[in-house]
């Protein structure tokens, strides 16, 4: 990400290793939709903060978990469309995917 100081790599040695850290555990998915929606907001906020701090690896992991959680919750029957849209709607998921693409390019160069 040009124009800012980027943190040295410290989480993984390759993108494959980094992707392995993005999996959402079954344990997390056993929570109520309300808890999962709250977790999604925290994931997105923290991913954005880490990106601003130059921590591309951590930001990548959190954005990936955010997108995976969105895909999982979209299939849930007990999540209202309104609740889903408030958390994942608008541009949140699309922006997260765009950021993931940028981060992947940057991380693969390093």
Rounded distance, CA 9 to CA 67, Å?
23
Rounded distance, CA 83 to CA 108, Å?
35
pLDDT per residue as tens digits for the range 37-55: 999 999 999 999 999 999 9
Question: How confident is the prediction for the chain on average, in pLDDT?
Answer: 87
CATH of 24-109 among 3.30.70.1170, 1.10.20.60, 3.40.50.300, 1.20.58.80: 1.20.58.80
What is the residue extent of each domain of the chain?
24-109
Task: State yes or no: pLDDT of 9 exceeds 70.
Answer: yes
Contact in structure between 40 and 87 (CB atoms under 8 Å): yes
How large is the average pLDDT for residues 20-24? 84
Task: State yes or no: pLDDT of 102 exceeds 90.
Answer: yes
What pLDDT does residue 49 have? 97
């Amino acid at each position: 990400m040009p124009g800012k100081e980027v943190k040295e790599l410290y989480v993984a040695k390759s993108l494959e290793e980094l992707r392995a850290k993005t999996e959402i555990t079954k344990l997390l998915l056993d929570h109520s939709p309300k808890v999962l929606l709250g977790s999604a907001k925290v994931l997105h906020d923290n991913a954005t903060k880490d990106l601003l701090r130059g921590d591309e690896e951590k930001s990548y992991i959190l954005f990936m978990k955010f997108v995976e959680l969105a895909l999982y919750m979209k299939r849930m029957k007990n999540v209202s469309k309104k609740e889903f849209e408030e958390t994942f709607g608008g541009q949140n998921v699309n922006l997260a995917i765009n950021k993931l693409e940028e981060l992947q390019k940057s991380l693969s160069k390093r």
